[in-house]
Amino acid sequence: MSIRAPLFVLLLLCYGALFSLQEARFAEGSHQLAHPLPPAIQKIALGYLRQLGGEMQFIKASVFYGGLSYKPSKPLDYAEPLSRRLNAAAALHPQFIDTYFLCQATLPHINNEYARYANGVISQGMTALPDNFVLPFFVGFNHFYYLDEPLEAAQLFHLAAKKPNGPIMLEHLANILSAEGGNIYAALIGLQGLYASEKDDQVKKRYAEEIAAFEKAVTVLEAIRRYEKMKGTPPAALADLVPEYLSAIPDIGPIFTLEWKPPHLQVVRVAKKKRPPR
Amino acid sequence: MLNPIKHIAALARLVLLDGLRRHALMGLIVLSVAAQAGALLFFDFIPRDIGRASADFILSIAWLSGCILLFFHGVQAIALDEERKVIYSLLARPISRGEYVLGIFAGLAALLFLLNLLLGGLGYATLLLIKQMVPPEYFEQFNILFYLLAWFGLVAMELMLLAVILLFSGLVRGSFPVLLISLSFYAICSGLPVVREAMSQRAAQEGAQPVMEGLLRWLTAVFPDFDRLDFKNMIASAEQLPDLALIALNFGLTASYIGLFLWLACLVYQRRDLQ
């Protein structure tokens, strides 16, 4: 009986010392976000709790990303597990919208590969939430800003504008990007439609300026078509059209400028040309 | 006709009282209340879709409680009848083995129903509280009809599992093997839809495999896809209106599945050597 009490105290002290040691070692170690199990395995294991599992994946990712003191400084150090976790969250609970907001905030800016990966994750939400306009806007924005794919962006902005509560400015942006991608006729028709339905005088005036610029671009486009018909190949430079096919290259500024990348004529925003490359 | 119903009701009452006496219900209610209080902390981690996440949490806790009742209390209650020789004294009375099976099912189903009724009420109050605590844009919809539909779906799934557990209890002796087999059954039910989805994706790339697809479809008749009774997503969302005919079909299928498995359980018990 007499030896039991000191032995118990000794055991308790031993446990306390080992626990403190373990905590100290844990605090020293690097805090990384672990790779999650594949979504298919999680679906099988969770069953009815699948949605809660998806929300837990989101919480893990957001707590990790929000814990700045733990986060490694370079995004590429944590991008892989973070992207996998967000993909798992979307696969487990595609209707849960927070996953897509976190995905958009954390992945596309890293590099083009992760911008495409983010688009893949958000596409799951577009299928699950067909009435939401924010998700196609996110994907369109990634195509436009990070991937420099204006035509794909235009399609998605157009889709977003058509959704319930979709802002009309996205339709406008879609038309501008269509022109930037070389689809000037579609952009012109779209802008004319917006002009006809707009009530605000200031906005109407802006649309009119843009329509005028696009109409000038169309005259250049038609001249290129005539040139191509006669010579069999597109002109090497726009200056080749003058004076036989066009009296002068029109100035379509101040908002836009023409850019000739044979065989595509693009109407590019001046602001974009001045923007430093990413 | 009335006598069998009286026998079943009397046995069901015994099973229900036994469950209450063994604090199965009370213990689970306390556990669930504590967990539902966690919902108030859980939604703090969710920036936007608070309504959906909270409803998921409440229903998931209820599912866990139901599963604990089924796998730990239900399996044991059925096995203990045999281990404690209670079954002999019951069957010595003018009660058939079929009535015995149906009585046990009705008693455990009543216990399950009572648990879900209490948790449903508590969950409803918790969701209302959360809805009042957050700005409306983060919890736009809370439809009581869809909430009830989600609970009916949950109870229907639990009743299917209960019918399966009764059948396995007739086929296998001892509570532990029944528990293992029942858990395996549930794992297959959760896994089969994933395998079917993977197969259909593969079929889209490499061409159809009619034999394998047919096999998986018929396996789903035995190992049901519980996702078809999962209506959690509708509680806090007005985006998808339910297809009423499909919902009726799902519940109809569930009722016939339970009936079929109970029938099989009655047959097994009638042929079983209780010595």
3-state SS assignment for residue A267: strand
User: How many CA atoms lie within 13 Å of B95's alpha carbon, on the beta-carbon side?
Assistant: 24
- Output the pLDDT for position A269: 84
pLDDT at residue A103 greater than cutoff 60: yes
pLDDT at residue B242 greater than cutoff 80: no
Lowest mean pLDDT, pick from A29-38, A65-74, A209-218:
A65-74
Which tens digits make up the pLDDT trace of B249-261?
999 999 999 999 9
- Output the pLDDT for position A29: 66
Tokens standing for A176?
Answer: 């501008």
Which one-letter DSSP state was computed for residue A144?
I
CB contact (8 A) between residue A45 and residue B49 = no
pLDDT at residue B157 greater than cutoff 70: yes
Higher pLDDT, B2 or B111: B111
A44, A48, A93, A124: best to mutate for the B interface, most B CBs within 10 A: A48
- Output the pLDDT for position B53: 93
CA distance A93 to A97: 9
pLDDT at residue A28 greater than cutoff 80: no
pLDDT > 90 fraction of chain A, expressed in percent and rounded = 57
- Output the pLDDT for position A32: 75
DSSP secondary structure string, B129-189?
HHHHHS-GGGS----HHHHHHHHHHHHHHHHHHHHHHHHHHHHS-SHHHHHHHHHHHHHHH
CB contact (8 A) between residue A44 and residue B190 = yes
Tokens standing for B188?
Answer: 């297959």
Shortest alpha-carbon distance between residue A10 and chain B (Å): 36
- Output the pLDDT for position B143: 86
The model's confidence at residue A277, banded by pLDDT at 50, 70 and 90, is low
- Output the pLDDT for position A163: 93
CA distance A2 to A269: 89
The model's confidence at residue A243, banded by pLDDT at 50, 70 and 90, is confident
The model's confidence at residue B226, banded by pLDDT at 50, 70 and 90, is very high
* Partners of residue A130 in chain B, C-beta under 8 Å: 239
B63, B187, B230: residue with CB nearest A44: B187
* Partners of residue A52 in chain B, C-beta under 8 Å: 56-57, 60
- Output the pLDDT for position A115: 96
Residues in chain A whose beta carbon is closer than 8 A to a beta carbon of chain B?
40, 43-49, 51-52, 55, 58-59, 62-63, 93, 95-98, 101, 129-132
Which tens digits make up the pLDDT trace of B6-36?
888 888 888 888 888 877 778 888 888 888 8
CB contact (8 A) between residue B53 and residue A55 = yes
* Partners of residue A48 in chain B, C-beta under 8 Å: 60, 63, 154, 157, 226, 230
pLDDT at residue B92 greater than cutoff 80: no
Which tens digits make up the pLDDT trace of A178-203?
998 888 998 999 999 999 998 889 99
A45, A93, A98: residue with CB nearest B48: A98
- Output the pLDDT for position B29: 83
pLDDT at residue B91 greater than cutoff 80: no
Which tens digits make up the pLDDT trace of A138-180?
999 999 999 989 999 999 999 999 999 899 899 999 999 999 8
CB contact (8 A) between residue A44 and residue B191 = yes
Mean pLDDT rounded to a whole number for chain B: 87
CB contact (8 A) between residue B187 and residue A52 = no
Higher pLDDT, B133 or A27: B133
The model's confidence at residue B238, banded by pLDDT at 50, 70 and 90, is low
Residues constituting chain B:
275
B189, B230, B239: residue with CB nearest A131: B239
* Partners of residue A132 in chain B, C-beta under 8 Å: 239
* Partners of residue A98 in chain B, C-beta under 8 Å: 46-49, 53
* Partners of residue A43 in chain B, C-beta under 8 Å: 190, 193-194
pLDDT at residue B275 greater than cutoff 70: no
Q: What is the pTM of this model?
A: 0.84
Dihedral sign (CA A91, A93, A95, A101): negative
Query: Once rounded to an integer, what is the mean pLDDT over residues A94-113?
Result: 95
Query: Once rounded to an integer, what is the mean pLDDT over residues A100-113?
Result: 95
- Output the pLDDT for position A52: 94
Query: Once rounded to an integer, what is the mean pLDDT over residues A22-38?
Result: 80
Which one-letter DSSP state was computed for residue A258?
E
Compute CA A164 distance to the chain's CA centroid, rounded to the nearest angstrom: 21
CB contact (8 A) between residue B190 and residue A63 = no
**B203 neighbors A64 (Cβ within 8 angstroms):** no
Shortest alpha-carbon distance between residue B13 and chain A (Å): 30
CB contact (8 A) between residue A55 and residue B233 = no
Which tens digits make up the pLDDT trace of A200-218?
899 999 899 999 999 999 9
The model's confidence at residue B237, banded by pLDDT at 50, 70 and 90, is confident
pLDDT at residue A113 greater than cutoff 80: yes
Q: Which residues contact B101 (CB under 8 A, 6 or more apart)?
A: B166, B170, B262, B265, B266, B269
A40, A47, A98: residue with CB nearest B46: A98
Query: Once rounded to an integer, what is the mean pLDDT over residues A261-265?
Result: 86
Closest CA in chain A for residue B229: A48
pLDDT at residue B74 greater than cutoff 70: yes
* Partners of residue B237 in chain A, C-beta under 8 Å: 95
Shortest alpha-carbon distance between residue A113 and chain B (Å): 24
- Output the pLDDT for position B4: 80
- Residue with the two structure tokens 């962006």: A153
